[in-house]
Structure 1
Amino acid sequence: MTRGSQRERDRERAAARAGGKGKNAEDGLTPEQRRERDGKALQEKAAKKAAQAAAAGSGGGAGSKGAAKK
């Protein structure tokens, strides 16, 4: 059975596809700094989403959630 070489080739191909993706624990930050950076990114993302929701909600019209059905 030559299945061992196939597995090794598959692992190499998967590693090549992954490239630089994935988590990088060696980014030179302490856990506290990483937590602060991630928290700031989440706040920015939430603010952006809220702004988009406000812009979409201000359009109004018959398609809005507040419209009454009969």
Structure 2
Amino acid sequence: MARGNQRDKAREKNQKEMAGKKAKNTLSGTEFAKEKENVAAIMRAKQAAAEAKRVAEGAAKK
């Protein structure tokens, strides 16, 4: 019975591996599309703000 804790060790190892894996997408098709569009809108707003900042810094240097 030298390997009495083998099952416990394997269970711990498996839990660590499962914790590190990426969760699967649980959204439906329409929910996923809406979420994707929301993220895209946020990124467009960030890009517009960054471009405005670059333009403002460029105008200040001249």
Considering the TM-score relative to the shorter chain, is it more than 0.5?
yes
Q: Comparing both chains, which one has the higher relative contact order based on Cα–Cα distances under 8 Å and sequence gaps of 6 or more?
A: 1
Q: TM-score when scaled to structure 1?
A: 0.51
More helix by share: 2
Q: Normalised by the size of structure 2, how large is the TM-score?
A: 0.56
Instruction: Figure out how many residues of one structure are paired with residues of the other and give that number.
Output: 50
Unmatched runs of 5 consecutive residues or more in structure 2: none
Alignment correspondent of 2:23: 22
Sequence identity, in percent? Answer: 24
- Alpha-carbon offset, residue 7 of structure 1: 1.8
Give unpaired runs (5+ residues) of structure 1.
Answer: 63-70
